[in-house]
Structure 1
Amino acid sequence: MRMPLLALAMASFGIGTTEFVIMGLLPEVAADLGVSIPAAGLLVTGYAMGVVIGAPIVAIITNSLPRKATLIGLSSMFVLGNFLCAVSPDYWMLMGARVVTAFCHGAFFGIGAVVASNLVPPNQRASAIALMFAGLTLANVLGVPAGTALGQAMGWRSTFWAVVIIGIAAVTAIALWVPRNIPHSSGNIVSEFAVLKRPQVLLAMGMSILASASLFTVFTYIAPLLRDVTGMSPHTVTWVLVLFGIGITIGNIVGGKLADWRLMPSLMGIFVGLAAVLVVLVFAVPFAVAAVATVFVWGILVFAVVPPIQMRVVDSAVGAPNLASTLNQGAFNLGNAGGAWIGGAAITLGVGYAELPWVGAALAVGALGLCVASQALEKREGAPLAEPVCEEC
């Protein structure tokens, strides 16, 4: 089943590239469209809110459709959205095009994660999810740095044209390699929303929100931070983004293995490390070597949380895994939007780029608190995470 997982990873590579590359191109986009850098940063928020809004809508629309056809359709929407980004003449059309692109994001990763977990034995489910998300992490190793360099050399629109080509290749791979008859529950989608009443599901999604907010509060402004505080050239920033991408690729693999081993203890340990490394970043960022090393470790830890949290949501949402998995992508991106907004608001209020990691660390501590609460609740109940959803309710 490696080829179907590879096809999903190809699509996630393209989606990850278009989501994250805008951060490396904020100065170019802002200058070209005549807006401030914080305003350009709202393109990150707009994309993330598109995922949040689009996830439940697309989940409802596609609930009864075959999984393969759904994945092909979502990937095609991604291609269309990036085409619109490439031809956008002004800021607001670009914002709208980003939102269109984002609508496919949550549902693709949500449905794709469940499909990936069903293609392997039970003891390899988190690792399969991590393999699909490997495309997202490789986007930060290859796609984002290459897209940033391309955008700096030939204009930011050229980056989106390149992503269109990647998207077409991904649609082709899914059509050729993903099995046609993928089992899925197509019960009453409205009744499945009852999964949101479960405390464990809400706690896991809360972790997703705070973990992503912790990342995007700082990472949205990583280019100006490294340029203005560390004193790096745009070319050097590109290579730091490559190193960060290598870190999150490693973290994704490690997080999947840890989740298959001992999910909750591993997740708590990762959150502790994440908060600590962000505190270190505050003091390391003025020094180039220390800043680069810290950013690399940060990358490992920040993505090691993704497979465990996604697996926690799926395990908690017995009877509605596709819906919960999709909504959790919305939760991640609500955190993305919130983090980008918090970072921009802090800068507007006078907080320096170098102090943003303090905010990220506080958000990571909040995620740790939810993780501890979830573990305590599970021990107190002494029962399985959730009962199946009643589809006749």
Structure 2
Amino acid sequence: MPIAVHLLGLGIFAQGTSEFMLAGLLPNVATDLGVSIPDAGLLVSAFAIGMVVGAPVLAVGTLRLPRRTALIAFQLVFVAGHVVGALAPGYGVLFATRVVSAFAYAGFWAVAAATAVGLVAPDAKGKALSIVGTGLTLATIVGVPAGTVLSQHVGWRAAFWAVVALTVVSLLALLAVLPAGRTGQEAPASPRRELTALARPALWVSYLVTTLSFGAAIVTFSYLTPVLTEVSGLPAGLVPAVLALYGVGGLLGMTLGGRTADRHPLRTLFLGVGGLTAASALLALTAAHLAVTIALVFVLGLTGYVTNPVVQSRVFAIAPDAPTLAPAVNTSAFNVGITLTPMLGGLTIDAGYGFTSVAWVGAAVGAAALAAALWAATLQRHAKSRTVTARTPVTSGSPTAGDRPDALAAVD
């Protein structure tokens, strides 16, 4: 695997730490800036909204730039946003920097995915994307706890400066290893071609799978702390260790998914989402039993992230002529799930159904993701049938996997 793919993962680790670390900084941020915890919590929503909007907008806006240039530009904006955020005199300035930083991070995500895929052979796309995505998993395991510790001992602004330093390291490394200009694998940019590719129904079904599958994973994770302490009886001091166990499961799931995404994408998708749905339902039923809950936390991480390489690589297979915009919209789809499903979980808690109700929300969203995956499989099967009929003479045998077009390469 090219070193550049690993360095792209480092960039995601640095910026992904910022995406999630604010959850651990909220009390200090609220106290320092003189706002309420709910108001401070809106900084998380600001980042998510910036991610949803920023990915496709910046993907189109920088389409004619060499990918190296776009990646470095996004990181420079991200660094600038965090420098201003670390020095922010008030809530309004910090809020604005979160939106700007999220825009830049979304653009980096989209172009990083396209760059990683362009650096490897066609049968290694899923593995490359899993390495890039592992940066985000490591951010939840290492980056977020480290940011929380910094906030507790030095102040929340120190966590922002740490993200700046790490992003600068990633920027300099990418500047050194990525070739300048367009590589031989980068086709001439065509905004019209990429926008036309988005009209494919199968692509939007794939985006639906992304939103639902990751939403099913994130909704329970978002409320794990109160589930563990208020329902399962876990001492508050042990919560970080259990959350780290979730991250270990996620890292293992990302690794396994990267190994199977290219050979058995749909099988990986069905097994992962099916396991996540079952684990969510079991947690809802057994949350009062601490040992069982801890075991299920690991399973939730494993099953929640094993599908990640699949939902990322499928968009390249479905829309190979939109290598930048297709994954950019997929990044938005991830963040729609991150934004909406925790809101649903919060509504069930506010309605008086208790903290375990979020696990039922996860199971329900997981069931919807399974239905969407079945829809995607049906569309691909029909596409394969039409292609075989159009391309294969009556006297010939069935086409091999190597004879299939890119849009069908992801079919098991």
Normalising by structure 1, we get a TM-score of 0.91
CA contact under 8 A between 2:118 and 2:186: conserved in structure 1? no
* Alpha-carbon shift at residue 171 of structure 1 (Å): 0.7
- Structure 1 partner of 2:114: 114
4+ runs of 1 displaced by more than 6 Å?
Answer: none
- Structure 2 partner of 1:222: 224
Change (3 A) 1:228 1:276: same
* Alpha-carbon shift at residue 7 of structure 1 (Å): 1.3
* Alpha-carbon shift at residue 264 of structure 1 (Å): 0.9
Among candidates 179, 201, 204, match of residue 203 of structure 2:
201
Q: How many Å separate the matches in 2 of 1:30 and 1:212?
A: 29
* Alpha-carbon shift at residue 169 of structure 1 (Å): 0.9
Q: How many Å separate the matches in 2 of 1:268 and 1:344?
A: 27
Residue 10 of structure 1 aligns to a residue whose secondary structure is helix
- Of the structure 1 ranges 66-75 and 40-49, higher mean CA displacement relative to structure 2 is found in 40-49
Matches within 5 A, 1:341-352: 341-352=343-354
- Structure 1 partner of 2:66: 66
- Structure 2 partner of 1:82: 82
Change (3 A) 1:245 1:197: same
* Larger relative contact order (CA 8 Å, sep ≥ 6): 1
What is the number of equivalent residue pairs in this alignment? 387
Q: How many Å separate the matches in 2 of 1:31 and 1:232?
A: 27
- Structure 2 partner of 1:390: none
Change (3 A) 1:211 1:25: farther
Counterpart residue identity of residue 333, structure 2: A
Q: Is it true that 1:51 corresponds to 2:51 in the alignment?
A: yes
Superposed CA deviations along residues 185-218 of structure 1, whole A, max 9, x for unmatched, are 3433144222222111001101111123223323
Change (3 A) 1:27 1:302: farther
- Structure 1 partner of 2:324: 322
- Structure 2 partner of 1:4: 4
Residue 321 of structure 1 aligns to a residue whose secondary structure is coil
Matches within 5 A, 1:30-179: 30=30, 39-179=39-179
Residue 217 of structure 1 aligns to a residue whose secondary structure is helix
Q: How many Å separate the matches in 2 of 1:290 and 1:156?
A: 35
* Alpha-carbon shift at residue 103 of structure 1 (Å): 0.5
Residue 259 of structure 2 aligns to a residue whose secondary structure is helix
Change (3 A) 1:64 1:157: same
* Alpha-carbon shift at residue 44 of structure 1 (Å): 2.8
- Structure 1 partner of 2:396: none
Q: How many Å separate the matches in 2 of 1:75 and 1:303?
A: 25
CA contact under 8 A between 1:256 and 1:307: conserved in structure 2? yes
Q: How many Å separate the matches in 1 of 2:90 and 2:349?
A: 24
* Alpha-carbon shift at residue 300 of structure 1 (Å): 0.9
Q: How many Å separate the matches in 2 of 1:197 and 1:363?
A: 25
Superposed CA deviations along residues 41-65 of structure 1, whole A, max 9, x for unmatched, are 4433321111111112211221000
* Alpha-carbon shift at residue 35 of structure 1 (Å): 5.4
Change (3 A) 1:123 1:217: same
Q: How many Å separate the matches in 1 of 2:375 and 2:295?
A: 32
* Alpha-carbon shift at residue 32 of structure 1 (Å): 5.1
* Alpha-carbon shift at residue 154 of structure 1 (Å): 3.0
Counterpart residue identity of residue 362, structure 1: A
- Structure 1 partner of 2:336: 334
CA contact under 8 A between 2:125 and 2:262: conserved in structure 1? yes
- Of the structure 1 ranges 335-344 and 90-99, higher mean CA displacement relative to structure 2 is found in 90-99
Q: How many Å separate the matches in 2 of 1:147 and 1:258?
A: 33
* Alpha-carbon shift at residue 91 of structure 1 (Å): 4.0
Counterpart residue identity of residue 115, structure 1: T
Q: Is it true that 1:240 corresponds to 2:242 in the alignment?
A: yes
Q: Is it true that 1:308 corresponds to 2:310 in the alignment?
A: yes
Superposed CA deviations along residues 51-92 of structure 1, whole A, max 9, x for unmatched, are 111112211221000111111111122222222332334444
Q: How many Å separate the matches in 1 of 2:171 and 2:201?
A: 37
Change (3 A) 1:99 1:348: farther
Change (3 A) 1:87 1:278: farther
Counterpart residue identity of residue 107, structure 1: G
- Structure 2 partner of 1:360: 362
CA contact under 8 A between 1:75 and 1:171: conserved in structure 2? yes
Superposed CA deviations along residues 353-375 of structure 1, whole A, max 9, x for unmatched, are 22211111111111111110111
* Alpha-carbon shift at residue 25 of structure 1 (Å): 3.7
Structure with the greater alpha carbon radius of gyration? 2
Superposed CA deviations along residues 256-286 of structure 1, whole A, max 9, x for unmatched, are 1111221112211111101111112223433
Normalising by structure 2, we get a TM-score of 0.87
CA contact under 8 A between 2:217 and 2:276: conserved in structure 1? no
* Alpha-carbon shift at residue 320 of structure 1 (Å): 0.8
